[in-house]
Amino acid sequence: MNTRAIRARNGVSGVVRVPGSKSIANRALIMAALAPGVSTLRNVPSGDDTLAMVDALERLGLKPEVGSGYVRVAGPLSRTSTTDVALDANLAGTTSRFLTALGAVRCGSTTIDGGGPLRRRPNAALRNALLELGAVIESPVGEGLPITLRGKLDLANEVTVDGSMSSQFTSALMMIGSVIEGGLRLNLSGTPVSRAYIDLTADVMGRFGVQVVIEENSVLVNGLSIRACDLDVEADASSASYPLAAAAISGGSVEVLGLGDTSHQSDALFSELLRQMGCDVATTNDNTTVRRNPSKALAGISANLAEASDLVPTLATVCCFADSRSEITGVGFIRNKESNRIEGLADQLNRFGAHVTPTPDGLIIDPSELHGAIIDPMHDHRIAMALALVGLRVSGVEISDPGVVSKSWPDYWSVLDAL
């Protein structure tokens, strides 16, 4: 079995530059594909999810120019093309859902598929919304992938989408709304989750000239105002959580470059959570530093992460080192992420001797003495990166399938080793 052993150490120190935000990059790549003119995106991450998106744009005939840290796209995508195209999203949920919506604005059939774990992720809410808009779905086998669809150029101007499962459905529809004549009104049913990602989508769309109005239960997209733009992708706040958590768990000081107090990413709140647990935090417009004196205990925390659910594995791992109970709430929907990030995460953390109890909408973590273990990340890059941090303070920690981190941060292990 291929595993990665983690070296325990007495404190960490380092200055880390994390990859660009894949959430921002993938939204920007879709908008660049739809916009007339040449868009240049800088600090684009090199993870598998982004590479899958760039490859899809290539297959769709856009011929993106890929350089060192940048991608240049000459749009717009031909909506009248009758070419049939097959796209592979690999294991990227965001990529697959954005590409599914993109397929609804072109005449040729578009097939989106991916790896086994991605095929099992639900997409019914997006399918239903695209059908309501007038798309023709040719392979409605179950609610997951693969899906083959072709669109119409006279899509409707109003649709209802269930946002209770994933904000990615709403974001995907928002972006194609930018090329629908007359715009698009999205009526949100259910209780929308991760609304901060809807705000992030609107922010990226605004950079491409598209006005978006977000209300409590609706989103209005102003159509046909889209234009090309140049965009610098800021550092990924989800990725930044791992080196910052390293300082909290092991003690010492870690500075993350490119992510400061002006970030629009909801996951940028992680440093504030660490502050509440007893760490010293310093932020500027561009950087974030977390410090902890090893003699100062970490306190437990109660945190609702409904708007920052990708932080759950990292925060749960830090909470295993706190001296009092912690509770994470608002995240029952993450059972349908790359892995079951409720029961699965609890099971893996408990292999260390942790005392983690799943609840309907989160996790309860009680203090416990930890020991080494071999962890199965369950094909989930965030589980691998977060649980590896236990090994900074506990001997005998190994992570199986370490290559899974390539989904978002291919250089993660070398960065962790260097701390």
User: pLDDT tens digit string along 274-315?
Assistant: 999 999 999 999 999 999 999 999 999 999 999 999 999 999
The answer to whether 240 touches 288, Cβ cutoff 8 Å, is yes
pLDDT lower than 70: segments of the chain: 140-142
Residues 215 and 301 in one domain: no
User: Can you give the pLDDT at residue 194?
Assistant: 87
Last residue of a domain, one of 175, 209, 232: 232
Sign of the CA dihedral running 171, 173, 177, 183: negative
Residues 269 and 305 in one domain: yes
The SS3 call for residue 257 is strand
User: Can you give the pLDDT at residue 182?
Assistant: 92
Active site residue 154: no
The answer to whether 18 touches 240, Cβ cutoff 8 Å, is yes
Domain count, the chain: 2
Of 162, 310, 376, 380, the active-site residue reads: 310
User: Can you give the pLDDT at residue 144?
Assistant: 85
Last residue of a domain, one of 189, 217, 232: 232
User: Can you give the pLDDT at residue 192?
Assistant: 84
The CATH number of the domain holding residue 322 is: 3.65.10.10
Owning domain of residue 33: 22-232
Q: What would the pLDDT profile of 28-78 be if each residue is shown by its tens digit?
A: 999 999 999 999 999 999 999 999 999 999 999 999 999 988 999 999 999
Last residue of a domain, one of 203, 232, 261: 232
Q: How much is the pTM?
A: 0.91
What tokens does 226 get? 């889209």
What tokens does 381 get? 């890059």
Residues 335 and 379 in one domain: yes
Residues 338 and 219 in one domain: no
Residues 255 and 228 in one domain: no
User: Can you give the pLDDT at residue 141?
Assistant: 59
Residues 226 and 245 in one domain: no
Residues 150 and 280 in one domain: no
Round to whole Å and give the CA distance between 303 and 329: 6
Residues 195 and 280 in one domain: no
